[in-house]
Structure 1
Amino acid sequence: MRTAVVMAVAAATMVLCAALYMRSVTGTLREETLSGLREVARQSAGNIAMRIEKDMQMLEAVSRFVGAQPELDIDGVTRVLCEEVESTGFKRMGLITPDGTAHTTDSVEMDLGGRGYFLRAMDGETVISKELTDYADGEPIYVYATPILCGGRAEAVLFATNAADAFASVINVRMFEGAGYSYLTNAGGDVLVHPDNPESEQGMSNIFDRMEEGRMLPDEELGRMRRRMSSGDSGVEEYFRDGERRYLSYTPIGVNGWYVLSAVSGHVAARKSVYLTMLTLVVCVVTVTVLIGLFGYILFMQNSRRRELERIAFTDPVTGGYNWNGFIRAAREVVGGAAEYVMVSFDIDKFKVFNDMFGHGTGNQLLGQIWGILSRSVREGELFARVSADTFDLLLHAAPDEEIVRRLTEIGGQINPPGQRYTLTLSFGVYRVGPQETDVSLMSDRASIARKSGKDDSRTTVAFYDHAVRDRILREKQIEDAMASALEKGEFEVYLQPKYSASTREIVGAESLVRWNRPGVGLVPPNDFIPLFERDGFVVQIDAFVLRETCRMLRGWADEGLPAIPVSVNVSRVNLHDPGFVGKVCAAAREYGVPPGLIELEITETSVLDFENIGRLTGIIGELHDAGFLVSMDDFGSGYSSLNLLRRLPVDVLKLDRAFFAGDADNARGRTVIAEVADLARKLDIQVVAEGVETSGQVDFLTSIGCDVVQGYYFARPMPAGEFERLRRPQNKND
């Protein structure tokens, strides 16, 4: 009897302990669910706010750029906005003049003078509108607007339009195994974006009206929720829908009174409660040890849930490593301390071409391989992440420039191992993090500026950030914005530099050189725009312009009766990859009726060395010869030349670069090498031209070794066509 009583008491004690324990567990699971719900709502609200902030910063940056121009060029602004629309995903962007007329990227004409955001922007505010109806198609939209300021006064308004569902991808994050969902509303409860989840209230227009209609919350609690949302506060509510317990978390975004409302069924917590109840009964029957194990299991489940939320928020789905948010969080924990770091940004040039050639699946595999290479290359305390598309950021321990370049070169070598069927060109930008500097986004931006400044399609580059780099990027952007219109307006001019016979000192030819005479600026040095044009491909249009102008001048000289002399025209390496290049040259000569033998096409030595298929280049030169044109190798001696090229390439003229003879002409060994090159060229029936001649001593030496033609400042600088023609006419009369 006593034993039975003890057993009964023990059993009752165990049942009571189990009941108390499960009550505690149920409460813990409920709080865990609510905590996860709050975190999802906070994360979604933060993502939407971050996107809005990023979009507004971009719009303000464009506004500052436009406002800094001497005058408001509506067409130029529209072209810039068209490029931004393609990269940002806006439905439309445009400029509104003070009379309310909108100039848009999709050429939709509309009067926006009555829009509230326009009036506020004209008063100097940067705003985002409430939900509006698009004048163009009647769809719901939101509009960002910012003033274009000139002298502190709004001259016009830039705006960008987002479709109402633009934030759907942010709120449609899978949570609680598909049982949770989120809405985007305003403070009044009006639903702005619905979730794509069957558990949600489809078609609901106002959350408060629906709750009041379905008696989901007592009036007092519903009124409290209304007041808290109207005051911009966050909170969590427990309500019932169709007799089922549910939880709702509401978090303000901080823009226009918008809220993210996240909801989940109470079954999420209930299912675990049932499971743990059964497990606890087993534990009560077995041993206290299992109870300890159960506590451990609960802690494990809580940590797993937290890790899952962190994985969604901070993991890149392609590589499995940090995404941008994860990188920022990790980087903030290490920068600003005693250790010194450098921020590195690098990307793969023309990665879109790679995806087009091999497919996006192969492209993603490549990104995963790069992530693996970086994981093996970083040291303790260093971080890296894929931050967007094919762009990676690295936070490395500071070291001398040479060491940084060596490490990045090694990484590039691993990404491009020998025998790989394709070669990737990488661009690295490096920014040295200052003491106590903690703004990771700014560090990344500056490393990105350095990366873009050093881009070279032909080779992997490493560039370091400084303010001069930033200024150069801005200058190059201005040049790129102006280059097409400058060509149309005739701002580019062709200058001629005479070529003289080394023996007679008579003009026997000329070289056509492009010059840019910008209104209000004057002559722009070629080194300021030619390398940029070669990178962005605009050099093809410049080369075509110089060739046509040269043909036009040759035609004019022939009509005037001046003796015919050949004129050389530079050919960029971009043209050599154009299958129709030879046909275009022939067409220009035919258009002006110019004998092809008067046109000499100059191909630089570096272009020859960079050309992947020498056989193909030989074929191009052969086609030009068949058409009657002359071909020269320019800048010979400026790089690491191979004399074997002279045997393989059937060029007519060899132009010795000044660097080849300027210093070597002062010593016996150098003179011997130059003389042998000139002698070899003569034996191959190649004319020798020396460019960059600046002294009489150089002229005497080059004449003594049998150089045919000399060109340089010693004789004449490049000059306008009219001045060159005046230089020739007296010579013609003396003849």
Structure 2
Amino acid sequence: MQKHKTLIRRLLIVVISLSVFVGGAIFYVSQLRTTLLSELRTNLMQTAEANARIIEEDIHNEIKTIDSIASMLSNNPSTDAKVLIKDVKDAKENSDFLRFGISGLDGNCYTTDGQKFNIADREYFQSAIQGVSMFSNTFTDVIGKKDINVFASPIYHDGKITNVLFASMETETLSEKLLNETFNDQGFSDVANEEGKIVISSHSKNRKQSIDSITKLNFVDNFDVSQMKNEKTGVEEFITPDKEHRYLAFHRLDINNWYILSIVPSNVVSTQINYFLKMAIVTWLLLAVLFIAIIIYIYISRNKADKKMEELVFYDELTGHYNYNRFRLKVQALLDQGVGNEYTLIEADVRDFKLFNEIYGYQGGDKLLCIIMNACEEQCTKEEACSRISGDRYILLLHTKTEEEIIKRINHIIEAIKYASKGMFSMFNLEYKIGIYMIEESDKDIGKCHDRCAYAKKRIKDTPETFSFFSHEMYEMQLDEKRMESLMESALEASEFKIYLQPKVTLKDKKIHAAEALVRWNSPVYGLIPPYRFIPLFERNGFLEKLDMYMIEEVCRVLENWQKEEKMPIRISVNLSRMYIFKPGFANKIVELVNRHHIEHSMIEFEITENVIYDHSEELRSIIKELQHHGFLIAMDDFGSGYSSLNMLKDIPIDEMKVDQVFFRAEKENKERSFEIIKGVLSMAKSLHIHTVAEGVETEKEVAFLKEAGCDEIQGYYYAKPLCMKDFMEFYHTFQEEDVSL
């Protein structure tokens, strides 16, 4: 099913990719055509503009020529047109003009070809006598009956206009001079006036048809001559009577409001455009072929890679069975379907597998791992699953829910392993650690289920037990410890750890001369937390050293305040832990800390448990002597709880012995024996000049016995439980003032 979905997804990606590719190609070709057409229009307008500049320059040059001749004639003192015409006959012979003529201010003229007529009504004459040289519109010559254009210029004598010089040129001659073929001799040019009438017509072979006005052309976009008047330049497409498409580019001249018209067949343009479009299409087709080839290659390579990846991702190379990744997918699918609560998750490993490898080598170890996996696979049904996680760790999903049935199934697997390995590993007794979690209806995550399964197995790591079922109670205990770990640093900074003092009552005078400092955690989140919940945790994670140093400093502050206020001159005992007492420089660190508060060292007593003394007697002897050298008192806590208490007394120079409450909690039949032992211990301590304290005293009978046995101080609930500072001070003052009797 998953493979089918993957195939459909890949095909969809290919189809989308090809669609995007084809769409991109079409868009590119379309944009290319638009761009090429735009460039063509630009080129046509630039050609028309260039032709316009040439025509304007040629006509202005001819006007300058006429102006020069008129200037020369100004040097002749005569103003008689008949006389002056003789001076321009030579100019006529060396030019393309049809004739030259000179007139007086009355318009009567004489020409170089012997003609005489009046030009007073001509526009060019009117312009010239106003002092403006002019090039005329096209009109019909009255003599030769051909279209001509006239150049005219004023002639001055003594600063006044006396005559007009004009030169006529056949329009055909002007056309040959000014209009050239364009676009590689495939186009031609005409000149039109602002009404669209052709005033200078090209005789190009490319014309194919004769027109006298562009108003008669069939424009594609309904172009009108009136639009040309409003624009200086432009390009329009029109269709000839024989259905040929042509482009007409126009550009306004600065002469007579004329326009240069450059006309080129559209096939000349389309040939260029089609060439580039064909090249673009061929390129895109080649890219499409390459793209498809790459897709095919990727598809084939991906299939091979997927198969290889599946082997790497879902198969265990050692055992050849499905691995943990595949196992997770199957279990997660069951959880997603909501039927996970019908199953049980089991994690198991071989006890002392490293030792097994030492005995049988890695080959033997690998062989055992394969035997275990094969046995698990054989014992599992189709709806169940199993895999090796790593090393000797295995995980199983069994379709069963009762503890009895679960253990029965697991024992079947163990028996199958024994049977398959019979006679192979006789030097090693195969044992297992097995954690079991019965999946609940609310479970939706395989990771969470596995964590609980692994946690159950971890609980029996250092025990001889084989099976461990997960329970929410033990898990909540772990979570509680994690929460406390997350809060401990900030709690220390916020002074949430508080000193509680439990008084030690001296039996001789029934007064309080000492107290033991105990810690309580007053959390704003969890309330008052007793030490049994966090001290073992802090011992394991190393935080206890910080806490104890904090407690010692707090005790020093209390003693310093009492010393300043001259009240409650009692000593306070503080517990030391074996986790940090043997660190180099420990004694000096304590001395420096206490000295900062300027208190008597004898007011502080350090309690050390018996197990610390037993583990490091020689090192501890040196540390204790150094602390005693600085005036601190040393007490052995929990005396009698171990098996070597008496032996330690000869090696460790303690100042105080605290008799463990275990003697007072003895069974009824052992009570008298316990009391006799206490008597002996107290007598021995007295002979060694060791101060004695009895812990855990709760009854009047125990107090009376201890007084008779010679105990120096008692500590316990008979007098007071551990008290906060405020309550302790009230209790102290009240107790000291009372006549306390037994």
TM-score (norm 1): 0.47
TM-score (norm 2): 0.47
Q: Higher Cα Rg: structure 1 or 2?
A: 2
